Structure 1
Amino acid sequence: MIVLPTAIREAIFERAREGSPEEICGVLGGTHEPEGTSRVRSQYPADNVAENPRTRYEIDPEQQLAIFDRLEARGEEIVGFYHSHPHGPARPSDTDAALATWPDRSYVIVSLEPHKIGSWRWRASTDRDGADADGRFERERLVVD
C-alpha cells in the first residue's frame, strides 16, 4: 500500500494538466514501514528528457541524482516515482514495464483522460539460477490521506 497526501496528489495532477500533452515525471520521497506500506512525504518534480515526451518519460539523470541527495539530506527514502499519461489509462504501459528498474518501489501514474490515479510496485524476478530476469508490476492499494 502507498499513502499519498491529498496536497501532493493535487500538485501532481496540476503539473500533469500544465505539462499536457507531454508526460510529466518526478520522484516521491518518504518512508517505508515494516509491513510494506510506503508513506509519501514529498514529491520532487523533474524534467522529462525522453526523446518523445508525448509517449514516454525519462527523468533527467543529473536532476535525479540531485533529488536523491536532497532526499538523503532530509532523512527520506526513495518511495517511488510518478509520471502522467495525458491521453492514456492510469496503468503501466508496455514501455513503462520494459524500462522499470527500481524493485519494491511504487510507480504512481496519473491519467488526465479519464481523470484517475493508480499505483503499482515493481517486483524484480530471478530465474532458477538466481540471475536477474524480467520483473513485473503489481497493482497496489493507493490511499489518499
Structure 2
Amino acid sequence: MKKSLYLSNLVIRSAVDDDVDTLSDVFRRASLTFKGDRDLIATHPEWLVWDDEMLPFARVAVVDGRVVGFASARPVDDFLELEDLFTDPDWMRQGVASALIEDIARRSVRIEVTANSHAIGFYESVGFVASGFANTQGGPAPRMYLNVTRALP
C-alpha cells in the first residue's frame, strides 16, 4: 500500500464522542467531492447525516492532531462490513484510506463493502475483488471483498 511522506505522523485510533462533529464534517465534504453525485445527494440530504450508532465501530486517522479520515466496519457473521471510508478532501490520495483499510484488516479475515462507483479503482488497488452487485437507494452498486491472507504485524 502506498504511503505518503506526509503520513509519517499518522496515528489511527478508535473514534470518541468528541470526534463526531469532525467526522460529520469530513463525511459531508468528502461525499460532495464528486460533482456527478451532488444532484443525487441534494435529492437525499439525509444521506449526509452521520449515524451515531457507527461510533463504536469507527477508526480515526489523525495527523499532527488533525482528523484526516475515518472508517467504520461492523461485524456481520464471519466478516466485517465496511460501512464508511472517508478522507478529508485536503488529504485525498495521500495514503490515508489505505492506512485505514490496513488497520481494519488487522481485525478480520474478510472485509466486505458495497462500493461507490468512484471508489472501485481504490478498492482494487488495496486488494478488494468484485463479487456482484447490491441494490441501494442510489441504484445498483458493486459488492467487493478483501480476504486478509497475509500476516499482519
The alignment's TM-score, normalised by the length of structure 2, stands at 0.32
TM-score, structure 1 as length reference: 0.33
More strand by share: 1
* Bigger RCO (CA 8 Å, 6+ sep): 1
